[in-house]
Amino acid sequence: MVDFRLGDEHEELRVSVRQFAQEQVAPVIAEHYEKKTFPYEIVRQMGKMGLFGLPFPEEFGGMGGDYFALCLALEELARVDSSVAVTLEAAVSLGAMPIFRYGTAEQKERWLPRLTTGEALAAFGLTEPGTGSDAGGTTTRAVLDERTGEWVINGTKAFITNSGTDLTCLVTVMAATGVHEDGSKELSTIIVPSGTPGFTVAPGYSKVGWCASDTHELFFDDVRVPAANLLGARGRGLAQFLRILDEGRIAIAALSVGLAQGCVDESVTYARNRTAFGKPISGHQAVQFLIADMDLRAHVARLGYYDAASRMLAGDDFKRYAAIAKLNASNAAMENSRWATQVHGGYGFMNESAVGRFYRDAKILEVGEGTSEVQRMLIARGLGL
C-alpha cells in the first residue's frame, strides 16, 4: 500500500521545526530582512537543535537521520522565512555534503564535526560571473606547483551563499586543473579555508529577496592551498558537483513548497479576518477559489519532492524526478506568492508583511541550483530526448 503519511520520527521533527519557526524565527526575521543582517542567533539555535547534522552519521557529529529529514525541516522553516531556510539548505546540502560524499578520512575528521553542529558554515563555489548554468565553462584555474606541493588558484565565483559570515570556515571551489586528451577542461574541486591569503570576499550583494541570507562574490588571486585539499579524485569535480546539485534540487523543492504553503497559511488567516462588503473576504467565492488553487499547488508540489527524496534514499536513479520536483515546486512558490499578494491587497505589497517577503523571495527559486530551463532540459534528457 502506498502511504504518504510521515512516520513518527519525521513527524516529530516536522512539528518541532514548525514550532521553532513560529516562535523563534517569525518574531524577529522581518527586522533582519529590512536591515539585511544575518540572523546569527537563529543559526545558533538551529545548531543546538541539530538541524545542520540531520542527514549525517553520529560519528561526524550528525543526528543520524536522512536527507528527507533535512527536506522536512527546510519546508517548515520556509513556511515562515526563506532566508533562514536557504542558510540551512546551503550549509548542509552544498557546504558539508561534498566533504561527506567525497572527502578523505582526514578531511572529514577536520571539517565535519564543526559543520554538522552549526558551529561553522561551508560554501559551494561553483557559479561564475560569466558562466551561470554552463558549469562546464568554468574559468577559475588551479595549477599544482610541484615545488611546494600546493594548488595555486586564480579566478572569481559569484552568488555564493554562506561565503562571508563570521562562521564561514571554507569554500569548496571548482576549478580547471588541466586539459583532457579530447581538449575538454579537466575540472576538480579544492577546499579553500577562509582567511587564506589571496582569497577575498567582496561586500554582500544588494538583493531583491533572501535579504537575511549571506551572499557574496569571491576572488582568488594566487591563492595557495596544500595539494591534500583536493576534494575527491582529480578531474571528477564536475561530476561531483552535478551529483550534489541533483540532491540539492530536492532540498530547494522542499524549500519552495514551504514558501508556497506559507502563502496559503497567511492568506487563510487574512481572508478570515479582513472584512469587505459587509462580510469576511473568505466568504467571497473569488477569494476562496484563489486560495483553493494555492493549496492545490502546494500539495502537489509536496508530493513531488516526497517522491524524489524516496527514490534518492532507495538508491534509484532520481535525477529526472529531482528536476520535476524542483521545477514544479518553484513554479508553485512563484504563483502562490503572486496570488497571496493579491489576496492581501495593499498590505501584501508591504515588506513588513510575510507575503510581501514571500513575493520577493520566490523568484530566485526558479533560478538558483539550476534554472527552470535547465530543469526542463534534464527532464527531456531523462525521457531519452
Q: What is the pTM of this model?
A: 0.95
DSSP string, 93-104: IIIIHHHHHH--
Residue 12, pLDDT above cutoff 80: yes
Closest to 95 (Cα-Cα) out of 187, 160, 25, 166 = 160
All cell numbers assigned to 376 = 526542463
What is the spatial distance between Cα 42 and Cα 121, in angstroms, rounded to a whole number? 14
Share of the chain above pLDDT 70, in %: 98
- In degrees rounded to 5, what are phi and psi of residue 50? 85, 15
In a domain, 3, yes or no: no
Which of helix, strand or coil describes residue 171?
strand
Q: Establish whether 369 is a catalytic residue.
A: yes
Tell me, yes or no, whether 50 and 91 share the same domain.
yes
Contact 96/147 with Cβ under 8 angstroms? no
Residues 147 and 274 occupy one common structural domain: no
Residues 6+ apart with CB under 8 A from 185: 136, 138, 176, 178, 179
Domain membership of residue 215 (yes or no) is yes
1 is a domain residue: no
pLDDT band of residue 356 (cuts 50, 70, 90) is very high
Same domain flag for 219 and 311: no
| Parent domain of 87 | 8-121
CATH of the domain at 129: 2.40.110.10
Q: Does residue 175 sit in the same domain as residue 300?
A: no
Three-state SS annotation for 32-55: HHHHCCCCHHHHHHHHHHCHHHCC
Phi, psi of 244 (to 5 degrees): -60, -40
Instruction: Give the span between the Cα atoms of 236 and 293, in whole angstroms.
Output: 44
Secondary structure of residue 140 in the 3-state scheme: coil
Are residue 161 and residue 279 in the same domain, yes or no? Answer: no
Distance (Å, whole) CA 76 – CA 69: 11
- Per-residue pLDDT for 3 more than 80? no
Rounded Cα distance between 115 and 68, Å, is 19
- Look up residue 92 and give its three cell numbers: 548542509
What's the confidence (pLDDT) of residue 278?
86
Q: Does 177 share its domain with 305?
A: no
Residue 65, domain member (yes or no): yes
The three three-digit cell numbers of residue 138, written as one number: 568554468
- For the cut 80, the answer to whether the pLDDT of residue 134 exceeds it is no
Confirm whether 204 is domain-assigned: yes
Residue with cell 494555492: 294
Nearby residues of 269 by Cβ (< 8 Å), 6 or more positions away: none
Task: Note the pLDDT tens digit of each residue in 79-122.
Answer: 999 999 999 999 999 999 999 999 999 999 999 999 999 999 99
CA atoms within 13 A on the CB side of 5: 4
User: Which pLDDT band, with edges at 50, 70 and 90, does 183 fall under?
Assistant: confident
CB atoms within 10 A of CB 385: 7
Portion of the chain with pLDDT greater than 90, in percent: 90
Same domain, 254 and 366: yes
Domain assignment present for residue 247? The answer is: yes
Q: Would you state the pLDDT for residue 4? A: 83
The answer on pLDDT for 1 being more than 70 is no
Report which secondary-structure segment, H or E, holds 363.
none
What integer pLDDT is reported at residue 133 of this predicted model? Answer: 66
Q: What is the C-alpha separation between 144 and 150, in angstroms, rounded?
A: 6
| CA nearest to 257, candidates 68, 385, 95 | 68
Tell me the pLDDT tens digit for each residue of 157-182.
999 999 999 999 999 999 999 988 88
The reply to whether 223 and 258 lie within a common domain is: no
Q: What is the pLDDT of residue 151?
A: 98
pLDDT given for residue 340 in this prediction: 98
Cα separation of 337 and 319, whole Å?
Answer: 27
Catalytic residue among 109, 352, 369, 373: 369
From 99, 121, 143, the end of a domain falls on 121
Q: What is the mean pLDDT of residues 193-197?
A: 97
- In terms of Cα–Cα distance, which of 112, 120, 124 is closest to 161? 124
Q: How many domains does the chain have?
A: 3
